Amino acid sequence: MSAFKALVESDRAVFLNLDEFGEKHEVDGEEITVALQDEQIEAKDDDVTLSKTVKVMYARTEELNGRKMRGEAIYIDGVAYTVETWLDEMGVTRVAMSLPEVW
């Protein structure tokens, strides 16, 4: 393993460590370690600014059951979220998801 790959793997191990940022969650029926956060995004159109909260999940790419496309459902702890973006980078997958509608 190259020095760079070893460095990336050690960073990934810290970030998704249960004692650091990682937490156990059920994702599509499998319990895996992920880091979750809420993120505010904004879109500007002329004089109107719209903001939206999305949930962002980081996970080891190999622990997820394949890639999902925008608009597909992903289940976290039994709650259905809608995938907005899916990005795999150096063994870590970043998934931004719409929060479920609450009535």
List the chain domain ranges.
3-98
Checking if the pLDDT of 83 tops 60, the result is: yes
What pLDDT score does 84 carry?
92
Question: Coil, helix or strand for 92?
Answer: strand
Query: Rounded mean pLDDT of the chain?
Result: 83
Instruction: Please say whether the beta carbons of 18 and 33 come within 8 A.
Output: yes
Weakest mean pLDDT among 39-48, 64-73, 74-83 = 39-48
- Which amino acid type is present at position 91? G
Task: Give the number of other Cβ atoms within 10 Å of residue 25's Cβ.
Answer: 16
The CATH code belonging to domain 3-98 is: 2.40.10
The pLDDT value recorded for residue 89 is 86
Is the per-residue pLDDT at 44 higher than 80? Answer: no
pTM: 0.78
The pLDDT-based confidence of 26 (bands split at 50, 70, 90) is very high
Dump pLDDT digits (tens) for 48-75. Answer: 877 878 899 999 999 998 899 999 999 9
Residue written as tokens 């790959």?
A: 5
CA dihedral 74, 77, 80, 86 (to 10 degrees): -30
